[in-house]
A and B are shown apart, each in its own frame.
Chain A
Amino acid sequence: MGIFEAILLTVITAATPLVLAALGELVTERSGVLNLGVEGMMVMGAACAFIATQQTGSPYIGILAGIASGAVFSLLFGFLTLTLVANQVATGLALTILGLGVSGMIGEAYVGQSGIKLPQIVFPILSDIPFIGPLLFRQDLIFYLSIALVIGVQWFLFRSRAGLKLRSVGDSHSSAHALGINVIRTRYLAVMFGGGCAGLAGAQLSLVYTPQWVENMSAGRGWIALALVVFASWRPWRVVIGGYLFGAVSISQLYAQAFGVGIPSQFLSALPYLATIVVLILISHNRRMTLINTPASLGKPFVPDR
């Protein structure tokens, strides 16, 4: 395997959690809910996936635990913002603070244990294609899931009736309500989907990226995923482009550090965060484009009148 292939493989591994978390948040935001708790759900997913894997010995049960914990955890956010109409920004922050706290507490006994890496699933014949084969057909289940989810979400949002309803809830909840769509139920489901995806992204971190549990191991990826949704202007396939670009940036700084470029490592580590800001500026400086793309009801609470 050439060095170029090796680099691309690490880019894919670094990009997959970003793509997954951003994709989930995209669906949540398309329904008009801004959940800033991605970081918290992700780190919960990472902790629960790792713990379940260590307890059962099966990383596949770990994946399920990751998804389930993210989805259940997101229900807390859903209950507060949808049922009790609490402020979405503040509740999202609360979810992140609580997630970092709870995951640190339940994961404490597992710090330093070496985990079980999620095995590769090799597609016969396809994996023998030079270059593409090892990159795309010799991967783990979570990578395949991420690709399937991108295609699935793109189809769901823009080709299915349920997706149309979800988008209408996000663009004008009063009109959707008047048409008989259950706004709150739709948003609950969208929030849970976002939570499940963030949990799956977390599971990727503790089962594939670095198969171990470290406190705060999401390291701001949840926030980068939130920025990715803006970057992607709420379109699934652009999430893939953005996710892989960010994966490349975070990997390039690792390689630069390894090859001893004469820049202090701290400056290189700051690159992904600075890149996020630059990208946000580039995407949002055009006010009109931002206004067209953003779901019109994003972040606005809805109380059905009766």
Chain B
Amino acid sequence: MRIELERRPEVSRLYSILSPFIALALTIFFGGIMFLLLGKDPVSALYSFFIEPLMEVWSLHELAIKAAPLILIAVGLSVCYRSNNWNIGAEGQFIMGAIAGSILPVVFYEWHSPLVLPLMMLLGMLGGALFAGIPAFLKAHLNTNEILSSLMLVYVAQLFLDWLVRGPWRNPGGMNFPETRTFDPITILPEMITSGRAHWGFGFAIIAAVLIWFMMRYTLKGFEITVLGQSERAGRFAGFSSRKMIWFSMLLSGALAGLAGIAEVSGAIQQLRPVISPGYGFTAIIVAFLGRLNPLGIVVAGLVLALTYLGGEAVQVSLQISDKPIKVFQGMLLFFVLSCDTLIHYKIRMMWFDLSDKPVGEVR
């Protein structure tokens, strides 16, 4: 058997919309097989993974809490990836944003003012942007591969946070636990609606997604991002600077990841701990691709991936299995998303028998 690709004359509109759904269906199918191999009833496992979390008001709030950082980060990453800047260190920028924003409630905890909360959010964005500025500077001016430098900085950020909460920022009245003092109520991001826990982080995510969608679709900047991403050479002829684009996309995605970090810490955790993220920065990469790098698609994709976190927790309780299937689900999903995207640009032909008499590479 052989698989042959034939380039479509134009991009298939049908499959651009359909491909994420095919990927989801395949993931659910193979997820069922995985549960079967684990010796669990696949139907009830999939039910508690994907449906149960949607049935209760409180768990819908949890969904919004988990989706908020994923959407915020992924929207920023979509700008990076569209402009061909491979920032994969959002996890580190998330952590540094959380740390920068926490300076006020942890170090200046005696300062009570309505200004504190907005300042925290700004500091969070600043922290994330500055941390993303390192790989941006290295790529724009020293030609260093941003994939590797941004990823290495994730480990550095994790260790820095670990040092802070065990060292200088440890809660003096906290029985030596590695955590900071809990935030003052005035520094806590308020809930969006009164029916549950979901905080304004989700609101930020929706606002960011709409703004970036508008920028990509209706502004010159959006056009510049697309052109430089598809062909740097064409962009140069149009007078766009790829160096400035590196700075713009990395700082933007860093700021959004930083905002996600401080919103998560201030809204959900309400103190700093050695680990503040279950890998949001990496899962957001999957969100960005599942949303086809389109900010509005990313909102939907963020909710889907947030569901895998909740579903993972649900099956832990209902089926007595570990949280490990979450990562497998997420990894499979990205795989299927990437393979289904092929359908957009190519027709796929299965050649069960090799009937072609043309030798390979024959000139037409």
Contact = CB atoms under 8 A, between A and B. Distances in A.
B241 interface: no
The majority secondary structure among interface residues of chain A is helix
Contacts of B282: 93, 97
The majority secondary structure among interface residues of chain B is helix
B328 A101 contact: yes
Q: How large is the interface on B (under 10, 10 to 19, 20 to 34, 35 or more residues)?
A: 35 or more
- Which of B4, B324, B342 is the most central at the interface, judged by chain A CB atoms within 10 Å of its CB? B324
A102 B159 contact: no
A10 interface: no
- Which of A94, A227, A286 is the most central at the interface, judged by chain B CB atoms within 10 Å of its CB? A94
Interface stretch (A60-68, A83-91, A235-243): A83-91
A84 B339 contact: yes
Contacts of B341: 86
B5 interface: yes
Interface stretch (A50-58, A123-131, A177-185, A193-201): A177-185
A90 B338 contact: yes
B327 A277 contact: no
Contacts, number: 150
Contact of A101 (B5, B289, B331, B362): B331
Interface in A175-229: 177-178, 180, 182, 220, 223, 226-227
Contacts of B167: 264
A273 B159 CA distance: 11
Contact of B328 (A36, A98, A220, A280): A98
A218 to B, nearest CB: 12
Interface in B276-291: 282, 285-286, 289
Nearest to B356: A306
B152 interface: yes
Given A101-B330, A290-B143, A226 B338 contact: no
A148 interface: no
Interface string B306-333: 0000000000000000101111111110
Contacts of A305: 361, 364
A84 B331 CA distance: 18
Contacts of B155: 220, 270, 273
Given A227-B148, A280-B145, A108 B324 contact: yes
Interface string A71-105: 00000100010011111011101100111111011
Interface of B: 3-5, 7, 86, 88, 138, 142-145, 147-149, 151-153, 155-156, 159-160, 162-163, 166-167, 282, 285-286, 289, 322, 324-332, 334-335, 338-339, 341-342, 346, 348, 356, 358, 360-362, 364
